[in-house]
Structure 1
Amino acid sequence: MKRKLTSLWLAGCVAVAGCSKKEEPAVPEDSPAQPSRPPQGTIPREGEAAANPPVHVVVPADGGTATGQAQPAPGDANGSGTAQAGTIGSNGSGTAQAGGAGSGTAQAGTTGNGTSEETPPAPPPATAADLPPENPKHREWTAGNIELKRRPSLPVTLRSVRAGQHADYDRVVFEFDGEQLPGYQLEYVDKPIVQCGSGDETPVAGQGWLQVRLTPARGHDDKGQATVAQREMKPKLPVIQELERICDFEAEVTWVLGNKSPNKYRVMELKGPTRLVVDVQH
């Protein structure tokens, strides 16, 4: 009797255990195997993120994303986007901050025409405003100041200085290279007469010192050799007793006419060759 009750009790336990067991859903045979661990190179999750399971995205072999077609990277071969990295375009026409076809502005590299930044610019050509004509009033006798400003592209080279006597006046001729005269300023000055470079006082004969300042001009060639050999002349004329060059520096040439007295003078411009003439009355 006891064995029968024991058998019935065991059968009931088996039946109860079988009823409480749940069946696992069937897994399709073509389903991809789930990874047992994160892919290689995955950064471990820390803090609150460790409580959430990592999501592993499978990238298709055609280069797209898991949600659709692959997106083209900016700055690609067609140069339509903004390049984030790369080299500047070879034409150098614009600025490429980075990479791509260089359709923007170039911040680095040489310019497209290959011009060096160190090349000094050529002097601008002189205009009519820079080269005014002779003032006819300067041919009138005066004891005051005479001035005419000119700005040629380059300093004009003085080639010779000579003096001679005429019936009513003594004449000094300043001859230049080319067809253009420099600007000039004439005035009687007081002593001391000084050299512009050293500041040394220079004695000049006479009692009236007519200063002739020429600018932009030079009295030397490209090698630094003086183009007027004599820097001091004593022509022994009725009025002009001495001529002294006191400056040839920074595009300025200055001569002083040592006159017997501060007589009236006039200035004329002559061509063929290019000359500036100064006459001093007897």
Structure 2
Amino acid sequence: MDVRQLSTLVAVADHGTFSAAARALFTVQSNVSAHIARLEKELGVTLVDRQHGKLTDEGARVVERARRVLNEVDDIVADVASRDADISGQTRLGVIGTTARWLVPQMLGRLGTEHPGVRTVIQEGATSTLIPNVLSGHLNAALVHLPIDDPELVIEPLFAEDLFLLASSSHPLAAHETIPLRDLDQVPLLLPPMGSALRKVLERAAAAADITLRAQAEIDGVRLLASLAFDGFGAAVVPATAVPNWLTGAFRMISVPELPRRVVAFVRRRRPGPNAPTQATLEVLQALIAERGHLQAGVHPGTSAINPLRTD
């Protein structure tokens, strides 16, 4: 078994056919067939169903591990190629959508200036989907919101942000500028799913206020929660970054003083340590947030904004 065989199998998985994989690898189809056949012989299983052009169950399992192996190889190359400030190689970064919208463009711009040799692959998703990809090695790191409790992860808080109740101007709650959390007892709200990081934060606040949050609907995705609130489907508790600075319209952001701030953090696997491009990306993010985070409404950079908050 060698890296070329694993790369070939992953290419077949990604592109669907031997011929498409050959084009992606800049080789000929006979080479792809030969690599797959050798790998199947060594493992003693069929990895690709030639009749239907799909991976077998065994092939899917091998591809999952092969991706991790190939990512580790890329990380080794990146570390060896990077010397002092001359950093090159790839980092695979997951980002929650609300943070991605305001921070990723600035991050990519500064990386391009300070570390032009760094190639960044961005995956947007919810915290619940990004964390497993970090643990599996498919992502080098991710920007997610806390609480996260996993001993295999290193967690570096970046900033805190306010939580608001968002409602269209036609919603009954839009008459308020501020509303106590106790007044939301049993009020139908658009909420994230039970077990999600944001829902845990909200349920803890509700328990402290001795109220019950009632879900009008459960939506896995903060930006979708905000969109539904904008459209008048219901009121939703969302972080400040769910509402871009430039956005105007018939909606109200209602303060709920008892709600804690949401903490966004950079998370990575404890072992192995981050490759050089990933570490450089973290340093760029920290610098940007320190310099420009205060320009984003509702965002509070700095340890003084984060340390007093419970994230466990």
| TM-score of Structure 1 vs Structure 2, range by shorter chain | under 0.3
Relative to the length of structure 2, the TM-score reads 0.22
Relative to the length of structure 1, the TM-score reads 0.23
Bigger Rg, which one:
1
